[in-house]
Amino acid sequence: MRIALIALLLAACSPTVQVQAPDKPIVIDLNVKIEHEIRVKVDKDLDKSVFAKDSPLF
Amino acid sequence: MLRKAILITALTLLPLQAFALSLEEAKSKGWVGERMDGYLGPVTETTEVVALVKDINNQRRAEYQRIASGNGQPVDTIQKLAAQKAYEKTPSGFYIQSPQGGWVKK
């Protein structure tokens, strides 16, 4: 009888494990119209300046 | 009198960097976030943070304008590409602006 009671209490206390799927990453709607070649160049320019490795601006 | 003059002179010559808030610190403490327009925004609006944000944004704007004219593009295009890059490069746990405009941790 005691074992049944303990078992019941343990069951009541067992934590439910919830697996949360990661949220979708935030994507900004840019609506940018730009030729691919120019975009590649702009990307490089940004990587050399604002987003450079030790840049104080980012 | 002379000692006081020396002290005042020494204090005014101290480098401001010794006390200024760095962007690195502000980001790690969650005081600033990346906006979807390619600029920084204050998450915590203290005088210090607002000043830092203004200063960094001015410098970013100058770079964006330089890149825009260098590539024959409107500065708005550069800003949007920069925002995309900023979002990609922001480490998780740091603040970015949600599509609704509020601050969320990446």
Question: Alpha helix locations (H) across B1-106?
Answer: 2-13, 23-28, 47-71, 75-89
Q: Please report, rounded to a whole number, the percentage of residues in chain A having pLDDT higher than 90.
A: 45
pLDDT number for residue A24? 61
Q: Name residue B95's beta-bridge partners.
A: B33, B105
pLDDT number for residue A5? 77
Span B73-99, average pLDDT: 97
Q: Name residue B104's beta-bridge partners.
A: B96
Going by C-alpha positions, the residue among B52, B38, B32, B26 that lies closest to residue B85 is: B38
- Name the residue facing B77 among A32, A57, A58 (closest C-beta): A32
The verdict on a CB contact (< 8 Å) between A38 and B78 is: no
Residues of B in contact with A49 (CB under 8 A): 63, 66-67
- Name the residue facing A49 among B63, B72, B104 (closest C-beta): B63
pLDDT number for residue B88? 96
Span B38-65, average pLDDT: 98
* Tens-place pLDDT, residues A26-38: 777 678 999 999 9
pLDDT number for residue A6? 73
Q: CB pairs under 8 A, 24+ apart, for B12-17? A: none
**Amino acid symbol at A47:** D
Cα(A18)–Cα(B82) distance, integer angstroms: 37
**Which residues of chain A register pLDDT less than 70?**
7, 9-25, 29
